[in-house]
Structure 1
Amino acid sequence: EAICRIDVDGFYLNRRFWFLDGWINHCGYFPSWNLRLFRHRLGRYEQIEIGNDIYSGDNEVHEHVLLNGRAEYLSAPMEHYAFPDIATFVEKHNRYSLWEAAAWRKLHSTGEKSLRPTPFGTGIERKRWLKKSMMRAPFRPSLRFLYHYVWKQGFRDGYRGWVLCCLLASYEHMIVRKQRELQKWPNNSVVQL
């Protein structure tokens, strides 16, 4: 009924993230509003292009819908079963980390910009500002763990929260290692742009 309204051009859905057969209610994963339903003529996916050789296997890892119109929020959550087990999480995040490192390199080498990171903008812009601010921070994997486990209260999700936060720290470590690999060996054929 709500999606039939002609005065609204898009709708945000709240993803309910499932991991290890349970709902992750904390860790910064809920609420997780994403613009998923929109009028195609008024919305487009942000383009973050880093080269033809690197593919994340997803609609590039952090692309968002940019809507030229009015959006509202649907109350019913969308069940999100992206990572049924640890192996799936690790396999996907291995690809994502390569894409993240290559995107970081391209943004720093060309000055290319998509959404502007700012602490005073939209939720996406604030998140990107925080991420950009943390890119040069020491102990990034540890900080990522503390952010999700302590600040975002991942401990309240019990064992699943602990495992997810450890995996997120490991993901951050993979990004750091691959960024350094790109700096040290810029002509590496696996990560060539």
Structure 2
Amino acid sequence: MNISTVVLAKNSEKTIEKTLKSLVDFDDVIVYDNGSTDETINIAKKFSNVNLIQGEFKGFGWTKNCASSFALNDWVLIIDSDEVVDRELLNELKTKKLDKNIVYRLNFKAFYKDIQVKHCGWNNQKIKRLYNKTITKYNSNDVHEDIITDGLNIEEIKGNVEHYSYHTISEFIIKADRYSTLFATNNTGKKASSPTKAFLNSIYSFFRTYIIKQGFRDGYVGLVIAYSHAVTNFYKYIKLYELNKELKK
């Protein structure tokens, strides 16, 4: 295939082997490791099609662009170290004639442990992940990064990416802290915030995930996800409020 796959990784020993097994048909797989202290690097080294790069992390947008610069092909597919390309998507990528003026969107199925999350706004998300690096790249956002599509078309590809993002409740807590810090740092001096905004955002986030997006239908997993969304949003805006206060001093 004339597609390079780029995988960002850090302490991904629980999931990355499954990810890389789903990518064995790609000749060029870049694993960009940014500071793993577990078995991630040793696992990646077991795959002959993997080009292991060890570098720094400067936010998701910058880091994805940096990792993509090592791709041997112009076409770049971004896959996270807790995601699996299914057989239907793999076959589509092998046969589809790609147009460099199109950014391709993939369908995602979400899992907590091995439980598929069918609600909460998680299931069947359409996310842009395949692009020609001679035409476009990711924006520079630290979080909520996205492929720049100005003047380009967007098309969905058949098949799915299975996303195994969480394996314990503790991982929700860790990611809430990490993402909220990145958001606050990236928006200091750019966006206003307040304790009231933090509180109201967290309440609305829970209601939207658990009620409007029917997270309650996913049982206790839906409750965990909705509460995690609320916590993340609260800390995003309260951290931003605190950093803005410190900036004014």
Kept after mapping to 2: 8 A contact 1:42/1:69: no
Establish whether residue 5 from structure 1 lines up as the match of residue 88 from structure 2: no
Work out the CA distance in 2 between the residues paired with 1:172 and 1:137.
7
SS at match of 1:28: coil
Establish whether residue 69 from structure 1 lines up as the match of residue 152 from structure 2: yes
C-alpha deviation, 1:69, in angstroms: 3.0
Establish whether residue 105 from structure 1 lines up as the match of residue 168 from structure 2: no
Work out the CA distance in 2 between the residues paired with 1:42 and 1:86.
40
1:35-93 deviation per Cα after TM superposition (whole angstroms, max 9, x unaligned): 11111112210112xxxxxxxxxxx3200011353332123120011222121221122
- Relative to structure 1, the CA distance from residue 107 to residue 183 in structure 2 (aligned partners, 3 Å threshold; closer, same or farther) is closer
Give the aligned partner of residue 167 of structure 1. Answer: 228
Work out the CA distance in 2 between the residues paired with 1:10 and 1:2.
15
Give the aligned partner of residue 47 of structure 1. Answer: 140
Kept after mapping to 1: 8 A contact 2:92/2:159: no
Work out the CA distance in 2 between the residues paired with 1:163 and 1:46.
31
- State which of 150, 154, 157 in structure 1 corresponds to 2:218: 157
Establish whether residue 96 from structure 1 lines up as the match of residue 188 from structure 2: no
- Relative to structure 1, the CA distance from residue 187 to residue 19 in structure 2 (aligned partners, 3 Å threshold; closer, same or farther) is farther
Higher helix share: 1
Structure-1-length-normalised TM-score: 0.69
Q: CA RMSD for the aligned pairs? A: 2.6
Kept after mapping to 2: 8 A contact 1:11/1:73: yes
Establish whether residue 14 from structure 1 lines up as the match of residue 117 from structure 2: no
Unpaired segments ≥5 residues, structure 1 = 49-59, 110-131, 189-193
Unpaired segments ≥5 residues, structure 2 = 1-90
Q: Which residues of 2 match residues 77-88 of structure 1 at below 5 A?
A: 77-88=160-171
Kept after mapping to 1: 8 A contact 2:205/2:233: yes
C-alpha deviation, 1:183, in angstroms: 2.9
Q: Which residues of 2 match residues 33-44 of structure 1 at below 5 A?
A: 33-44=126-137
Higher strand share: 2
Kept after mapping to 2: 8 A contact 1:15/1:79: yes
Q: Which has the higher contact order (CA 8 A, sep 6+)?
A: 1
Structure-2-length-normalised TM-score: 0.55
The number of aligned residues is: 153
C-alpha deviation, 1:147, in angstroms: 0.6
| Structure showing greater Rg | 2
Establish whether residue 23 from structure 1 lines up as the match of residue 105 from structure 2: no
